[in-house]
Structure 1
Amino acid sequence: MDHDPELELRQSDVMDPARAQAMQVTLGSEPKLQAGDALPPFFHQLYFWSPEPPEGLGRDGHPKVGGVIPDMGLPRRMWAGGRLAFHAPLRLGAQAERVTVCENVVRKEGRTGPLAFVTLRHEIWQGGTLCVSERQDLVYREDPDLGAPRPVPPLAAVDEEDAVERSFDATLLFRYSALTFNGHRIHYDQPYARAVEGYEGLVVHGPLLAQHLMLMAEAALGSLERFRFRATSPLMHHEVGTFCRKGRALWVRGPDGRLCMEAEA
């Protein structure tokens, strides 16, 4: 599909320690981060907001497509996965710049209808140094047939070395949405999530699952150089997820044994 590879979005932001502390509290940790400290992996999701007025939003609460992301006529958006490289620490209290380009767009026919795969490339710079490279994989698709049988997700492994159970209520999802300025209604508007997008409840943010996996990997393996993750099945707000690690492999297992996310550090 045609897209403009030269179209880029540049955003500047100060790595506010208060926002990072609020994220620590939201994740269940002590708010200890201060100016000058290194930003934990993936906490850059808290910055570089792209606020739009109400008329600039789509029905799902996301900004309307048509800029860096082309309009493909498909209403449902999902964050399918990502790949990150951590080159140098981002320091709290200092300004940083993020440069975003649409690296690739592919449209395909899937079992449930047309799909469009979009890859955004982000580079985050601070003080003239490239600190983080990120590729963000998005999927756009048609509205679901609510009467059709649901696809069967893969089963998760059960041979983990470490495991932590985590639950996600509606308040936690709201706070994470607020901190990341994510207006996607599937995370806080249950009637919309069920009736329009066909979910069984509120959807736990894929990046929130990945955030916990990254912190789990960092605690076990030390500072991360690279991390990749791929979402395979949504986790609902009323479910308990088990966060697992075996060596450098990580995953999230749903309460029924399904694989919700897989990752590698």
Structure 2
Amino acid sequence: MRFPEMLIATLVTAAAPFPAAARDLPVDLELILAVDVSRSMDADEQALQRQGYVAALHHPDVIAAIQSGPTGRIAIAYFEWSGYNSQTIIVPWSLVDDAESADAVASRISPGEVFGRYGTSISGSLTFAASLFDNNGYAGARRTIDISGDGPNNMGPPVLAARDAVIAQGITINGLAITLKPPRSDSSFEIDNLDDYYRDCVVGGLGAFTLPVHDVDQFEVAIRRKLVTEIAAQPPPVILVADRSQEARTDCTSSEGGTVRAPR
């Protein structure tokens, strides 16, 4: 190719537009629902959890909260977890902006039988949840992990290190502490005051809160209140995170003990 032709070819190439970069869709909130299905949750309690989220997503208060934001839409993902490296995505990232799209997410939560699995790795599940925000196609003004459970971390890395690593990424962790049955005195993996444990050891980030559930009849309403508070970014009418400048009142390592570790 002669020089003038090379010059023309170069100019044409330089003038050609670059391919448009893929843009993440702006949403008001990227919300991950992380639901405990460990063996300490019996079949009825697991079904109750699922039904609580299904009912909440059908409720007009939740739809109104979703549509109240600047964009009027959020992105939701839902997974179930138990031991270390034991997480199952039930609903991948989905856009919710009206009752119809919320019903579509709810329909994917509802079917199927849930089987309890060994171990309770809050730390592993928080780390897993945080990774789901990467390259998910959405750009949220806020990112929140909503984790529910009925016991302390007893498998995998220490919960405090995992919690702190997640909130350092600008992610808020909210909790639902489920205490429908009294803790067994013969189990080192069950503790009194699980709501205090969640407050001091699990939740964190801007506006973080935990909500305790002590009775079956509270469950559905509690989940709905929690989702409305998270989605609409309302001041939490529940147990706020302890001030990090104050010493936590809960021993966050009592259930970890170094006896149950993540597999190599």
| Range of TM-score over shorter length | under 0.3
Indicate the structure with greater helix content: 2
Indicate the structure with greater strand content: 1
TM-score (normalizing by structure 1): 0.24
